[in-house]
Amino acid sequence: MNFIDNPRKIRGFEKHVRVEKVSRRSILKGLGITGGFVLAAPVMSRQALAYETGAGKMPHGVVVDPRVFVSVAPDGIVTIVGHRSEMGTGVRTSLPLIVAEEMEADWSRVKVQQAHGDEVKFGNQDTDGSRSTRHYLMPMRQIGASARTMLEQAAAKRWGVPATEVKTVNHEVVHSASGRKLGFGELAADAAKESVPSIEGLKLKDPKDFRYLGKGQVGIVDLHDITTGKARYGADVRLPGMKYAVIARPPVTGGKLVSFDPEAALKVPGVEKVMKVQGWPWPSKFQPLGGVAVIARNTGAAIKGRDALKLVWDDGPNGKYDSVAYRKELEEASRKPGLVLRKEGDADAALKGADKVIVGEYYIPHLAHVSMEPPVAVADVKGDKADIWAPVQSPGGTRDDVAKTLGIPEGNVTVNVTLLGGGFGRKSKCDFALEAALLSKELGAPVKVQWTREDDIRNGFLHTVSAERIEAGLDKSGKVIAWRHRSVAPSIASTFAAGTVHQAPFEIGMGLVDMPFEIANISCENPEAAAHTRIGWFRSVSNIPRAFAVQSMVSEIAQATGRDQKETLLALIGSPRIVKPEVKDLWNYGEPQDSYPIDTARLRKVVELVAEKGEWGRQVPKGHGLGIAVHRSFVSYIATIVEVAVDDKGKLTVPRVDTAIDCGTYVNPERIASQIEGAAIMGLSLAKYGEISFKDGKVQQKNFDDFQVVRMDDSPVVTNVYIVPPGPDTPPSGVGEPGVPPFAPALINAIFAATGKRIRSLPIGKQLEA
């Protein structure tokens, strides 16, 4: 017996909400591409919350029903559903842990069950935007408290005592007055019959009684399986009779197959079939690019068969895409006025009248996600039913897209979410699952589509390429009186709508128009840029180029005025206050400004904390240097100090990294530390090596030899993480992404301190040599 009887019955308060441009999928509505996307989303009662989040505005909103998320078996084992995708952040542990906390369940008697993609049942499942803890801390507490209340009601009835006299302690309900106790298992059947309590009446635990939340002593649920090879990723799914496929896709975005010769491929031992894969014209969101699939009895044969294919492509409109020429275009555009997005005072006049103007032009190329598990999916399509197994960040969106692509009802599609071998935004696009579905339908057999690393690098949804130009005007005293920031980059929206030339609100809100400095004259502009390849979300998104530009400029101002980097930074941040940029429809990561304002007191605090703990200003050996940077993203505040060492040959090493994060109320500090440690590696990777470039429309890199990432021998020797203790009602904020943006500028500022060389173009590559 368990609590799951009719999960559709209770959805809390329902009301229609306007879908805003806050998620991967709702962007479609915002851009006017699909119609009829009105959602009935349950919205939590305001009274029950100490703060409001944007959770209710996500597609399908939030479901707060213990019968959907919790079941109790007669042996007392509590099963808690994890409805978000696990890609390394620890969310599959953290959210169920919150439920267990409120429920007073003993974690050693809890099992976690992964939800399949069903947003009507579970609420929004898009695991992106550093949203999971932010949106689900309170709902998971409410679910746990509801389950506990139902167990208590059942026990009170059995004993014939008022429910107020019983309480739950560590997997048992107890009646202290009589000394009676009942275990969760003994109460399961009766508790399932209890009505679900209203959210308003729920009694949440006093945080001082927390056993798990905020403690960080619980390992991730998959730890043992991961270390023994039993953990099942998308790539590990095997079905009886399953075929293995790899696909040759157009080498240029928007290209098409002209002809192919399968003969040599079919001679490869193990190859069974060669077939065309349906493609969609560019841009078409996440729909497959099309091409030719080689079907074989194992992946190795399929790869060998694909190598033997003879293919003729029409490269289409992007066949001339060339990164060297495109960079010039972007930089020239950044030197001319663009669409003004934020205007305060008169930046033009103030720059003209300034005693000194510092100009910084910063460039960051395209980047590829290269999650260790390349895209992969298994599909079994039979008639009008489709079963999918895939490492997707968007189980609900994948279900929608598979249904639409196959032309079958959504209810006939089951998306089984496996573990993700890394995501970083790549796996929020389900193109690989759609390919598997199309092939399975045509073959009439289960199929696994495996992307090779070369496919991943050449046919992905890349991080944009940016030219960021900042002009800072200083008065005689060295105070910054004018700030003009022009950001030029092809938008993610170009993957959804042809002809897109301006960045979307969710991109300009990432470090451009939300710039927090106390400056009288500000102009933030966005000149036009057209895309020539598929652009997608990459961990931290536009915050990467913006933090790099803004925080490099801070160091350039410090240099020009002969002041300390940290003091210059604090002077620019200015007084503790709430920043309210004069921007129409200011995007705030989908969160209400009331709960998540731009708070410079918190920004200052992380700078001061990291400076204290990271010993800013300490003596470092010759050839070493310290750099600092701070950035607010995903409504969290993060500051980083990097120590570099550059030897006389220009070899760069990183002896130490210190990072302070204020992510509000938090669940698992141990996983926060791991995210920040990893963010330093990803930040170092992109700064040192990260570059995807195009020539004749084609990506020039192919694998980890020419698209390098940091390895252990050049990773930071030590990364220290400091978490700001939250105030009593501080809402939770993002952790997965905010760690990356400040890293590159802190590194670059440290390199300047060590060598006097100012790097404005990433990657660093060979710039420090000679």
Partner 1 sequence: MIKVKINGQEQSWDGDPDLPLLWFLRDETGLTGTKYGCGQALCGACTVIVDKQAVRACITSVNDVAGREVTTIEGLHPNGDHPVQKAWRQVNVPQCGFCQTGQIMQAAALLMDNPKPSHDQIREAMSGNICRCGCYQRIENAVHLASTGV
Pairing of strands 447-450, 694-695: unpaired
- Token pair 């102009």: residue: 523
Pairing of strands 78-82, 110-114: parallel
For partner 1, what does the binding mask look like between residues 569 and 608, x meaning CB under 8 A?
----------------------------------------
Q: Which stretch binds partner 1 (CB under 8 A): 129-137, 203-211, 262-270, 406-414?
A: 262-270
Q: Which of 211, 256, 273, 297 binds partner 1 (CB under 8 A)?
A: 297
Total residues at the site for partner 1 (CB under 8 A)? 67
Q: Which stretch binds partner 1 (CB under 8 A): 28-36, 84-92, 190-198, 755-763?
A: 84-92
Question: Alpha helix (H) ranges present in 194-255?
Answer: 223-228
For partner 1, what does the binding mask look like between residues 174 and 213, x meaning CB under 8 A?
----------------------------------------
Instruction: Name which of 147 and 420 has its Cβ closer to partner 1.
Output: 420
In Å, how far are 120, 128, 634 from 133, measured between CA atoms? 20, 11, 12
CA gap 255, 91 in Å, rounded = 38
Q: Which of 261, 284, 670, 726 binds partner 1 (CB under 8 A)?
A: 670
Q: Which of 189, 258, 349, 718 binds partner 1 (CB under 8 A)?
A: 718
Question: Of 215-254, which residues contact partner 1 (CB under 8 A)?
Answer: 219-220, 222-224, 226-233, 235-236, 238, 244
Question: Of 671-710, which residues contact partner 1 (CB under 8 A)?
Answer: 674-675, 677-682, 703-705, 709-710
Residue 450 contacts residue 302 (beta carbons within 8 Å): yes
Residue type, 435: E
Instruction: Name which of 175 and 304 has its Cβ closer to partner 1.
Output: 304
Question: Of 731-750, which residues contact partner 1 (CB under 8 A)?
Answer: none
Q: Which stretch binds partner 1 (CB under 8 A): 307-315, 419-427, 492-500, 513-521?
A: 419-427
Instruction: Name which of 633 and 668 has its Cβ closer to partner 1.
Output: 668
Instruction: Name which of 131 and 448 has its Cβ closer to partner 1.
Output: 448
Give Dmax over CA atoms of the chain in angstroms. Answer: 84
CA gap 649, 637 in Å, rounded = 36
Which tokens hold the place of 29?
Answer: 């509505």
Strand partners, 70: 80
Q: Which of 95, 138, 386, 419 binds partner 1 (CB under 8 A)?
A: 419
Q: Which stretch binds partner 1 (CB under 8 A): 179-187, 193-201, 291-299, 541-549?
A: 291-299
CA gap 161, 172 in Å, rounded = 16
Which tokens hold the place of 184?
Answer: 């969760």
Residue 750's contacts (CB-CB under 8 Å, 6 or more residues apart) are 625, 626, 627, 642, 643, 644
Residue 649's contacts (CB-CB under 8 Å, 6 or more residues apart) are 769
Instruction: Name which of 68 and 433 has its Cβ closer to partner 1.
Output: 433
Sign of the C-alpha dihedral computed for residues 178, 179, 180 and 184 taken in this order? positive
Strand partners, 546: none
Give the end-to-end CA distance of the chain in Å, rounded to a whole number: 72
Question: Of 130-149, which residues contact partner 1 (CB under 8 A)?
Answer: none
Residue 120 contacts residue 392 (beta carbons within 8 Å): no
- Token pair 């009301």: residue: 15
In Å, how far are 21, 272, 362, 522 from 481, measured between CA atoms? 33, 69, 21, 9
To the nearest whole angstrom, how small is the minimum distance from the Cβ of residue 420 to partner 1? 6
Q: Which stretch binds partner 1 (CB under 8 A): 406-414, 670-678, 723-731, 757-765?
A: 670-678
Identify whether 763 is preceded by a cis peptide bond (ω within 30 of 0): yes
Which tokens hold the place of 26?
Answer: 């709702």
Q: Rule CB under 8 A: is residue 303 a binding residue for partner 1?
A: yes
Q: Rule CB under 8 A: is residue 655 a binding residue for partner 1?
A: no
Q: Which of 7, 42, 360, 423 binds partner 1 (CB under 8 A)?
A: 423
To the nearest whole angstrom, how small is the minimum distance from the Cβ of residue 462 to partner 1? 16
Q: Which of 400, 404, 396, 399 is nearest to 388 (CA)?
A: 399
Residue 433's contacts (CB-CB under 8 Å, 6 or more residues apart) are 377, 379, 388, 390, 392, 398, 401, 402, 415
Q: Rule CB under 8 A: is residue 108 a binding residue for partner 1?
A: no
Instruction: Name which of 466 and 719 has its Cβ closer to partner 1.
Output: 719
Q: Rule CB under 8 A: is residue 267 a binding residue for partner 1?
A: no
What does the binding site for partner 1 look like in residue numbers (CB under 8 A)? 86-90, 219-220, 222-224, 226-233, 235-236, 238, 244, 268-270, 297-301, 303-304, 370-374, 419-424, 450, 452-453, 670, 674-675, 677-682, 703-705, 709-713, 715-716, 718-719
